[in-house]
């Protein structure tokens, strides 16, 4: 990559770039990886014991994992996270996909304004959203209910669905759909047989985004949900505030596994989308699916 | 393809709907009870919550909070009631009661003591002083040091807490004006009997803040009592304020080399109360009547908190007796519940401004 | 070639309308959903910041009577008696605490006076009120004899008010001199300044760390770059709480970093890193760095490296060539990343709340404080509305220069 005639300074510069880049990569990844071994600490601390550093097996244990599965609060939190996440994702994906299909059409009126409005849940700070929802949903009697939390999380997830689905729709030729209509296809069939196969990767990755948004959300939960709707991040938040306890590290390790699974899924989807559109080369990597 | 997707979705929806109904089912007979967590929470779970769940079949959601009236206020004023029963410090109780955040509890729901004494005579008078609550424990705010980290000079008085020359190192205190203002005045030489009188004047408040100022750079603030033993254990602070039971539990259960200093302790009651507008008011009363019987109250001696019923005394762990606040009353003052009902809010504001300075 | 007839033109317009309607119908469900679940709540917050009927509901008679007050002396006996009897009623209904809180907001330090006065007046019998009410009130606290207090009560009684915005901007309304800078403590402007400052530091750090890394990755062969990108994407996909937990474990007094430095003999006693603004900045830089790297990377990947090489082979020095040719081409990615990081960090709540201590708090934390701790929801709403205005301004800039629909995701 570095031509030979660039000389020592260039090579030094390139080496410097390489070293600093790796340092930044380590800064990104190390804090997350550090959690994993600490979660097997037999002591109730957040730091490495001498025994751990010497790799003595008796310094390690699964007691914090056991503690999670023995604690009904954690069990409830895990159930809640998946339950709320599932329904929020369902609503966000259906509404978001539908809207993205409309927004992608050339004849969409007020497109810019509507896009900005529909994407705003992603931009407005969560503390403002949460405060507003607390006032409004309390008046409707929806605060402290599953329905309220699900609706709130669905609203927060829709922008991601719009973005990912829109990305798969760019360049879509609507004359295909029009031709199908002219040949007598019902709009529903057009949607499922022509549009859907094309946008499916976008829909699925949008759904994953919506899910992780709900799964990771804690501010709205803090303000609006009751003890009954406690989720994993909410339980972690109070754990970190009150009694710092390594079972949080155990659940964090489990969550890291969840994010690895999501990352792999997204990457597979990206490859699939690229294949569908013909060539791998003109699709940027996962970063910009 | 489209079909498989649809089938997949409906299967998902179906299972989720099933999950929804099961969620609905166990929401029917449940009660949310809020207390302080940590060792105290564990004792309550053992002696109060678990037996209640077993005997009545009601599912109790046992939550932690870290004191104050704000969360209750938010719930009552927004009409979004999440908590049914709360364990309150009497410091907060009068305020919550006078601001209309709590239901009135008819004291005739309380059964007679284990020895047959009627409730009205069995409870100590302070426990039934408020129409909004039933007293639960007698406990105290104290400070302690760790033999391992204290160094040569040991602390023995409240003055030492404020004396960083004598005992260098960080102090850990709960982030609120309550008790800290009292301690500042006691350390500044105010007589125990006059603390609240002085604190009611602008000059007295200024005096307390001036005393706290001398310590300000050495204070580690925490929000919840549960954090306190940890700070003392890991050397985060040399002198740590907490509820006496938290230290007692760490000493007894985990063998920590902690030493409690009783001088200037501020003792108080904790009481069970019901949030105004709780949809489960009757069940909540039933809960309170159940958990303030002689036996559950005696169980609180696990964490060196004294019972509020005289009839509990014979059932207590005798080893705890010398560690109960009632064994050290001469060294302490009683927390002023009326004072904090009136001044809690304005001193809370001044305290926050002082923190930000 | 024939000219368009009017009917053909209107037909075409009709067809266009129909098409537009068709497109619009797809958007309607989500639009309604967002309006109901998201926009309406925010509207209710804005409304609350100016609409405040509570005091007017608590002491309507006193407020009506105060309209005839000259504002110079203590209100007359009639007003005082009326107030005493309303206070008596409030004490009996356990609402005097609410009134105390409200008056305290416009006249700091009054809550204890109102509460103890209510306690004293509450002890009077209803029939004693007309004769002794006013007297008991004046004796209960000396501030009841101050016209400023009654002015404050009058202001607190307004149903529509901009007072909370004044407070949020550290201003106050003086009876004679009009709007003035608040004398005692200036909290909020300072906090806004600190928040912007911290957001700026975080954005700069992200740019400083992210730019070289993105450049390095963009110039690697695609397969290798994709592999290394996983190290950027994994943190991006990892729960915020997990990442914050990680920093707590690292930065604690007896945490990983301190125990490493201690055992290596590099330091004598542990550093205080957690619960400081340093902790907030480090943790947030870590959390937001991917938002900087990803747009930079995608822009840099699209730049043909041969430009730079061509310039240099034509004799340009590497640094000027980089500054004048390459850097400008990466500006779209840099500005997109920087604006995104800045917007997100200005409104951040969770991480400062968990690792910031008292020193590392941002404006969101004070909003949460007024929501949850001091129960001053109106002030929280006013502070939130100002923050919202700031964010919308930034969002508008973003939309203008980057395009909201160009937001890319990992």
Q: B74-122 pLDDT, tens per residue? A: 899 888 899 999 999 998 998 898 888 999 999 999 999 999 999 999 9
Q: What is the count of residue pairs from A and C with beta carbons less than 8 Å apart? A: 302
Assess if residue B17 is contained within a domain: no
At C162, the pLDDT band (50, 70, 90 cuts) reads: very high
Residue-level pLDDT at C263:
84
Assess if residue B277 is contained within a domain: yes
Tell me the residues of chain C between 101 and 120 that have a Cβ less than 8 Å away from chain A.
none
Q: Which residue of C has its CA nearest to A16?
A: C212
CATH class of C188-406: mainly alpha
Residue-level pLDDT at A189:
83
Q: What is the 3-class SS of chain B, one letter each residue? A: CHHHHHHHHHHHHHHHHHHHHHHHHHHCCEEEEEECCHHHHHHHHHHHHHHHHHHHCCEEEEEECCCCCHHHHHHHHHCCCCCCEEEEEHHHHHHHHHCCCECCCCHHHCCCCCCCCCHHHHECHHHHCCCCEEEEEEEEEEEEEECCCCCCCCCCCHHHHCCCCCCCCCEEEECCCCCHHHHHHHHCCCCHHHHHHHHCCHHHHHHHHHHHHCCHHHEEEECCCCHHHHHHHCCCCCEEEEEHHHHHHHHHHHCCCEEEEEEEEEEEEEEEEEECCCCCHHHHHHHHHHHCCHHHHHHHHHHCCEECEHHHHHHCCHHHHHHCHHHHHHHCEECCHHHHHHHHHHHHHHHHHHHHC
A135 CB neighbours in chain C (<8 A) are: 41, 44-45, 48, 377, 381
Q: A11-24 pLDDT, tens per residue? A: 888 899 999 999 99
Do residues C347 and C391 lie in contact, with contact meaning Cβ atoms separated by under 8 Å?
A: yes
Structure tokens at B83: 């908590």
Is A141 an interface residue toward B (CB < 8 Å)? yes
Is the model more confident about A107 or about B325?
B325
- For a pLDDT cut of 90, what percent of chain C falls above it? 51
- Interface residues of chain C, partner chain B, Cβ below 8 Å: 93-98, 100-101, 104, 108-112, 115-116, 119, 185, 187, 253-254, 270, 357-358, 371-375
C270 CB neighbours in chain B (<8 A) are: 235
Which residues form the domain of B307?
30-139+269-334
- Do B202 and B79 share a structural domain? no
- Do B172 and B223 share a structural domain? yes
B73 CB neighbours in chain C (<8 A) are: 375
> Are residues C44 and A114, on separate chains, in Cβ contact within 8 Å?
no
- Do B305 and B263 share a structural domain? no
What would the CATH number be for the domain defined by A73-244?
1.10.3720.10
Q: Which residue has the tokens 């957690």?
A: C274
> Are residues B236 and C373, on separate chains, in Cβ contact within 8 Å?
no
Residue A188 has pLDDT above 90, yes or no: no
**Overall average pLDDT of the C256-283 stretch:** 87
Q: What is the count of residue pairs from A and B with beta carbons less than 8 Å apart? A: 70
Q: H helices of A171-231, where?
A: 174-182, 187-190, 196-216, 219-224
Do residues A35 and A249 lie in contact, with contact meaning Cβ atoms separated by under 8 Å?
A: yes
Q: B140-167 pLDDT, tens per residue? A: 999 999 998 888 899 999 999 999 999 9
Residue-level pLDDT at A287:
35
C208 CB neighbours in chain A (<8 A) are: none
Is A284 an interface residue toward C (CB < 8 Å)? yes
Q: Which residue of A has its CA nearest to C238?
A: A259
Is the model more confident about B166 or about A168?
B166
For testing the chain B interface, which of C112, C120, C194, C255 should be mutated: the one with the most B CBs within 10 Å? C112
Q: pTM for the whole thing?
A: 0.87
| C274 min Cα distance to partner chain B (Å) | 11
Residue C74 has pLDDT above 50, yes or no: yes
- Do B344 and B257 share a structural domain? yes
- Do B344 and B195 share a structural domain? yes
Taking the C-alpha atoms of residue C202 and residue C342, their distance in angstroms, rounded to an integer, is 8
- Do B311 and B220 share a structural domain? no
Residue-level pLDDT at C66:
92
- Please tell me which of the candidates C93, C95, C104 has its beta carbon nearest to residue B346: C104
**Overall average pLDDT of the C140-151 stretch:** 90
- What's the CATH number where B163 sits? 3.40.190.10
At C316, the pLDDT band (50, 70, 90 cuts) reads: confident
> Are residues A102 and C27, on separate chains, in Cβ contact within 8 Å?
yes
- Do B52 and B73 share a structural domain? yes
- Please tell me which of the candidates A83, A143, A228 has its beta carbon nearest to residue B19: A83
Residue C17 has pLDDT above 60, yes or no: yes
Assess if residue B157 is contained within a domain: yes
- Please tell me which of the candidates B73, B343, B353 has its beta carbon nearest to residue C375: B73
Domain borders along chain A are 1-38, 73-244
Mean predicted lDDT score pLDDT of chain C: 88
- Highest-confidence segment of A208-222, C163-177, C308-322, C396-410: A208-222
Q: B10-21 pLDDT, tens per residue? A: 445 545 554 554
Residue-level pLDDT at B6:
43
Closest residue by Cα to residue B265 from B198, B315, B314, B327: B327
- Do B154 and B252 share a structural domain? yes
Domain borders along chain C are 16-43, 56-157, 188-406
A115 CB neighbours in chain C (<8 A) are: 404-405
- Do B341 and B218 share a structural domain? yes
A158 CB neighbours in chain C (<8 A) are: 30, 33-34
Assess if residue B108 is contained within a domain: yes
Q: Which residue of B has its CA nearest to C360?
A: B356
Assess if residue B92 is contained within a domain: yes
Q: How many domains are contained in chain B? A: 2
> Are residues A46 and C294, on separate chains, in Cβ contact within 8 Å?
no
Residue-level pLDDT at C214:
95
Q: Which residue of A has its CA nearest to B19?
A: A83
- Do B311 and B254 share a structural domain? no
């Amino acid at each position: 990559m570095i031509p030979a005639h660039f000389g020592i300074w260039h090579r030094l510069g390139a080496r410097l770039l390489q070293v600093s880049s790796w340092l930044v990569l380590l800064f990104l990844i190390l804090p997350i990886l550090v959690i994993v071994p600490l979660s097997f600490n037999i002591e109730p601390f957040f730091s490495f014991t001498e025994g751990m550093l010497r790799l003595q097996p008796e310094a390690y244990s699964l007691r914090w994992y056991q503690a999670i599965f023995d604690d009904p609060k954690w069990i409830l939190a895990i159930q809640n996270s998946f339950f709320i996440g599932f329904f929020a994702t369902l609503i966000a994906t259906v509404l978001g996909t539908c809207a993205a299909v409309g927004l992608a059409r050339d004849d969409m009126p007020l497109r810019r304004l509507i896009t900005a409005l529909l994407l705003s849940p992603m931009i407005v700070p969560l503390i403002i959203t949460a405060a507003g929802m607390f006032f409004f949903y309390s008046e409707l009697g929806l605060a402290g209910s599953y329905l309220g939390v699900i609706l709130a999380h669905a609203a927060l997830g829709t922008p991601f669905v719009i973005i990912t689905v829109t990305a798969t729709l760019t360049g879509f030729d609507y004359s295909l759909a029009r031709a199908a209509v002219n040949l007598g296809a019902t709009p529903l069939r057009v949607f499922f047989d022509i549009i859907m196969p094309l946008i499916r990767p976008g829909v699925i990755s949008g759904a994953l985004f919506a899910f992780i948004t709900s799964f990771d959300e804690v501010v709205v939960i803090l303000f609006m949900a009751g003890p009954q709707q406690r989720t994993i991040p909410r339980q972690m938040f109070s754990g970190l505030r009150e009694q710092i306890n390594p079972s949080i590290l155990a659940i964090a390790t489990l969550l890291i596994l969840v994010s690895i699974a999501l990352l792999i899924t997204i990457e597979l989807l990206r490859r699939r989308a690229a294949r569908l559109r013909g060539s791998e080369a003109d699709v940027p990597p996962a970063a910009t699916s | 393809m489209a079909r498989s997707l649809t089938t997949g979705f409906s299967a998902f929806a179906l299972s989720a709907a099933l999950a929804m109904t099961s969620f609905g089912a166990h929401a029917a007979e449940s009660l949310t009870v809020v207390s302080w967590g940590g060792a105290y929470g564990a004792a309550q779970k053992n002696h109060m919550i678990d037996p209640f769940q077993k005997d009545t079949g009601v599912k109790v959601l046992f939550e932690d909070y870290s004191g104050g009236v704000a969360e209750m206020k938010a719930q009552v004023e927004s009409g979004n009631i999440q908590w049914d029963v709360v364990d309150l410090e009497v410091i907060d109780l009068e305020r919550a009661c006078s601001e209309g955040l709590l239901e009135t509890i008819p004291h005739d729901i309380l059964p007679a003591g284990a020895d047959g004494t009627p409730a009205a005579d069995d409870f100590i008078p302070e426990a039934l002083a408020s129409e909004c609550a039933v007293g639960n424990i007698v406990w105290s705010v104290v400070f302690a040091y760790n033999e391992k980290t204290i160094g040569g000079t040991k602390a023995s008085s409240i003055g030492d807490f404020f004396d960083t020359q004598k005992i260098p190192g960080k102090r850990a205190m709960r982030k609120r004006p309550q008790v800290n203002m009292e301690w500042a005045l006691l350390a500044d030489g105010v007589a125990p009997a006059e603390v609240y009188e002085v604190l009611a004047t602008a000059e007295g408040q200024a005096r307390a803040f001036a005393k706290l100022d001398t310590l300000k750079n050495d204070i580690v603030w925490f929000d919840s009592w549960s954090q306190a033993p940890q700070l003392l254990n890991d050397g985060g602070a040399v002198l740590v304020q907490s509820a006496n039971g938290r230290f007692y539990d760490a000493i007894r259960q985990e063998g920590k080399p902690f030493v409690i200093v009783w001088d200037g302790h501020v003792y108080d009651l904790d009481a069970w109360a019901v949030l105004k507008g709780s949809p489960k008011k009757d069940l909540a009363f039933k809960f309170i009547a159940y958990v303030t019987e002689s036996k559950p109250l005696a169980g609180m001696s696990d964490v060196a908190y004294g019972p509020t019923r005289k009839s509990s005394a014979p059932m207590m762990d005798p080893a705890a007796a010398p560690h109960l606040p009632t064994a050290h009353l001469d060294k302490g003052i009683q927390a002023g519940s009326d004072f904090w009902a009136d001044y809690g809010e304005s001193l809370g504001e001044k305290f926050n401004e002082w923190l930000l300075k | 070639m024939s000219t368009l007839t009017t009917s053909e033109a209107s037909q075409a317009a009709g067809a266009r309308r129909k098409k537009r309607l068709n497109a619009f119908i797809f958007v309607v469900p989500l639009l309604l959903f967002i309006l109901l679940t998201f926009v309406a709540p925010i509207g209710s917050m804005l409304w609350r910041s100016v609409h405040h009927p509570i005091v007017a509901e608590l002491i309507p008679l006193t407020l009506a009577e105060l309209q005839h007050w000259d504002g110079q002396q203590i209100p007359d006996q009639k007003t005082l008696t009326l107030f005493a009897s309303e206070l008596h009623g409030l004490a009996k209904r356990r609402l005097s605490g609410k009134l105390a809180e409200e008056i305290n907001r416009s006249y700091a330090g009054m809550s204890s006076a109102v509460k103890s006065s209510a306690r004293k007046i509450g002890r009077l019998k209803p029939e004693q009120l007309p004769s002794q009410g006013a007297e008991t009130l004046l004796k209960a606290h000396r501030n009841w004899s101050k016209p400023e207090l009654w002015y404050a009560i009058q202001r607190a009684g307004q149903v529509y008010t901009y007072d909370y915005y004044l407070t949020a901007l550290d201003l106050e309304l003086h009876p004679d001199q009009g709007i003035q800078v608040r004398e005692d403590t200036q909290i909020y402007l300072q906090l806004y300044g600190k928040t912007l400052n911290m957001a700026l530091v975080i954005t700069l750090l992200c740019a400083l760390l992210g730019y070289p890394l993105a450049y390095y990755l963009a110039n690697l062969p695609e397969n290798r770059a994709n592999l290394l990108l996983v190290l950027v994407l994994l943190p991006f996909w990892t729960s915020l709480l997990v990442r914050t937990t990680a920093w707590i474990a690292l930065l604690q007094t007896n945490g990983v970093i301190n125990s490493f430095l201690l055992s290596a003999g590099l330091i004598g006693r542990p550093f205080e890193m957690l619960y400081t603004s340093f902790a907030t900045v480090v943790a947030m830089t870590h959390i937001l760095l991917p938002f900087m790297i990803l747009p930079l990377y995608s822009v840099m990947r699209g730049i043909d490296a041969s430009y730079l090489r061509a310039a240099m082979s034509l004799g340009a020095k590497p640094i000027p060539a980089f500054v004048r040719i390459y850097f400008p081409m990466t500006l779209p990615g840099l500005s997109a990343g920087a604006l995104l990081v800045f917007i997100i960090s200005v409104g951040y709540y969770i991480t400062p709340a968990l690792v910031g201590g008292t020193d590392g708090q941002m404006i969101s934390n004070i909003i949460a404080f007024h929501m949850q701790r001091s129960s001053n929801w109106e002030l929280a709403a006013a502070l939130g509305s100002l923050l919202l205005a700031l964010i919308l301004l930034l969002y508008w800039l973003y939309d203008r220069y980057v395009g909201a629909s160009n937001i890319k995701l990992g």
